[in-house]
Amino acid sequence: MATNENSLVALSDAMAEAVEKVGAATVTVDARRRFPASGILYSNDLVLTADHVVEREEDIQIFLPAGGEATASIAGRDPGSDLALLRLSRSASQTAEMSQVDPRVGQLVLAVARPTAEGIQASLGIISAIGGPIRTGRGVRLERYISTDAVPYPGFSGGPLIDASGRVIGMNTSGLTRGASIAIPVSQVRLAVESLLQHGKIRRGYLGVRSQPVELPVNGMEALGRAQTSGLLIVGIEPDGPASASGLMVGDILVGIDGDPISDHDELLSRLSGSLVGAQTQVEILRGGKPVSVPVTVGERS
């Protein structure tokens, strides 16, 4: 009996320690009129937080875990993925330790926050699901997200979701999915941060076409010579857009871009990012049942 009680006490203390550990790298982000939110010390002078809690560009105050405060400026932000990177006016001593392991459904997790100067706060749950890709309410494709039953209290957005060892597995936010809180996995955060630091935003490409998914005609499939059953039928072309300039026409069926097959909108959205933005690439279409390669300069979505 004593062993069982000891293991529960040990678990309980371990959770409090994990909270304390990440707490040393969890800050208060005061960048809006109503109650402040939380942020994660990503590096000595960079705070990761949720874009939707940053409602002003001036007078952003960060309250540090050890006490004391610093002002911050926006280093980069992306409303589409609800991520923002703030640069501190002075260095912080502690940074958050990120998990190097993939999250798993069923793992014990803690959502940690510091919405007030009163101290760290936490909420317990498990990883209920690892989902994605989904299209967010902001029209952006979210590759992966973590769903948990840890209760998201006010001010928890921008704070870390940690595993039992106190390492960060994601950033909590309630701004992306209506009425629910999810965590953006560290793997996604890392990719976004690269772009945010380089360009101050995340560059998203666009072609300027209206399209709908269709099943490929039999002769088209044969002509393509690969096992692809669907593509995107172009039903409208934006005047003065990249597609219009390239000679793509209504009736063409998009089946590939930059050497990769495309079967639906999500795949297209996913490919139109990163290095392809602003670059010239080959768009593969079926025109009259025959495969044609059209060079297109991918535009950048503003």
Q: By the criterion CB under 8 A, which residues form the site for another protein? A: 1, 3-5, 7-9, 11-13, 15-20, 23, 110, 118-124, 150-151, 153
Minimum distance, C-beta of residue 10 to another protein, in the bound complex (Å): 8
Cβ 70 vs Cβ 86: under 8 Å: no
Tokens matching residue 272: 């139109």
Long-range contacts of 132-136 (CB under 8 A, 24+ apart): 133/266, 133/270, 135/266, 135/269, 136/80, 136/81, 136/82, 136/176, 136/177
Cβ 171 vs Cβ 83: under 8 Å: yes
Pick the closer one to another protein by CB: 22 or 257. Answer: 22
Minimum distance, C-beta of residue 171 to another protein, in the bound complex (Å): 19
Pick the closer one to another protein by CB: 180 or 218. Answer: 180
Pick the closer one to another protein by CB: 59 or 118. Answer: 118
Minimum distance, C-beta of residue 3 to another protein, in the bound complex (Å): 7
CA 122 to chain centre: 22
Residue corresponding to tokens 């912080």: 92
Minimum distance, C-beta of residue 97 to another protein, in the bound complex (Å): 16
Pick the closer one to another protein by CB: 2 or 218. Answer: 2
Minimum distance, C-beta of residue 112 to another protein, in the bound complex (Å): 8
Pick the closer one to another protein by CB: 19 or 176. Answer: 19
Closest CA to 193 of 278, 78, 299: 78
* Amino acid in the structure at residue 248: L
DSSP-derived secondary structure for 79-107:
GGGTEEEEEESS--S--PPBP-S---TT-
Pick the closer one to another protein by CB: 4 or 293. Answer: 4
Minimum distance, C-beta of residue 20 to another protein, in the bound complex (Å): 7
